[in-house]
Amino acid sequence: MNRERIFFEKYQGTGNDFILIDDRQGHFPSVDSSLVKKLCARHYGVGSDGLILIRKSFHLDFHMDFFNPDGSTSFCGNGSRCAVLFARSLGMFQGEKCKFSAIDGQHEALVLDQEIRVKMRDVGNCVVDGNEIEIFTGSPHFLSFGSTLPVGDIRGSAREIRYSEKYAEKGINVNFVAPDARGIAMRTYERGVEDETLSCGTGVTAAALGAALKYALTSPIHVSTAGGLLKVHFAMSGQSSFRDIWLEGPAIKVFEGSITLSV
C-alpha cells in the first residue's frame, strides 16, 4: 500500500469519533498497526478514537473489525452503531434490521428514526466489590461509583488503575459513575486511546448494568456522557447476569475524504 490513496468516511456517536473504511475487497493491511496509528493520530493523520473496517460476511450482512488508535483490537459499542449506518450506505443491507459479526461474535442492529440500536453480548460474572465493579461488555471495564462525578482531569486517577499491577498487561477501561436526574452520568478513560473520551459505548453499557446492580435501577437506563445521552435496555438473568442487552444512541456521518500516507 505504498502511497496508495485511502478513502474513508468519518462518523461520530455521542462524540466518540471513528474512521470507517470500505474493505469489502480486503486490500487494507489490517495486520499493520502502524498504519492504524498514523490514520488515527489527531495531529498527523485523520484523527479518531478508532478505525473500523467493513468487510464481507458469508452468512451475515457484514463483518466489522475495530482497531483502537494504538492498533489493538476489541469490540466497540459506539463504533458498531456507526458501522451499521455506514454499511447500510454501502448497500450491504436494506431496511431497518441487520446482523453483523465482530471480534466478540454475532450482533443484531435496528435502525430507528434518529438512533441506532445494537444488541450486545450477554453479560455474566460481574465482580462487585463495594463501590467498584468489573464487567466485560465486549471490552473490560472497571466501574467506580460515587455520589458525584469527579471534577477536572481524571487521567491521573484513571491511569493508576489502568496501569496497576492487576491490569497493566491487558489493560482495562476505567469509568467513573454517579447517579443523576435522568439515570446515571459517567466519564470514561479508554485503554488503547489512553485518554478520556467523550463517550464509550461498551463503557456506557457496563455502567448501566453496574447501576442495575448498585442502585437497583430497571431497564431502560439513561446514561449521560460528555458527548451526549445514550440508553441501555436489558433483562436480568440471575443475581449478576444480563441478557437481551441493547445499546441505543445516535450515529452521525461527519465528512468523507481521502488521505495518502507513506507507509
Distance CA 10, CA 230 (A): 20
Catalytic choice (76, 82, 98, 126): 76
What's 127's DSSP letter? E
Catalytic choice (40, 82, 98, 200): 200
Identify whether 126 is a catalytic site residue: no
The residue written with cell numbers 437506563 in the block is 221
Judge contact between 172 and 156, C-beta under 8 A.
Answer: no
Q: What cell does 218 get?
A: 430497571
| Closest to 36 measured CA to CA, from 86, 9, 73 | 73
Q: What cell does 26 get?
A: 480486503
Identify whether 82 is a catalytic site residue: no
CA distances (Å), 67 to each of 49, 177, 192, 224, 242, in order?
9, 26, 9, 25, 26
Which are the catalytic amino acids? 76, 200
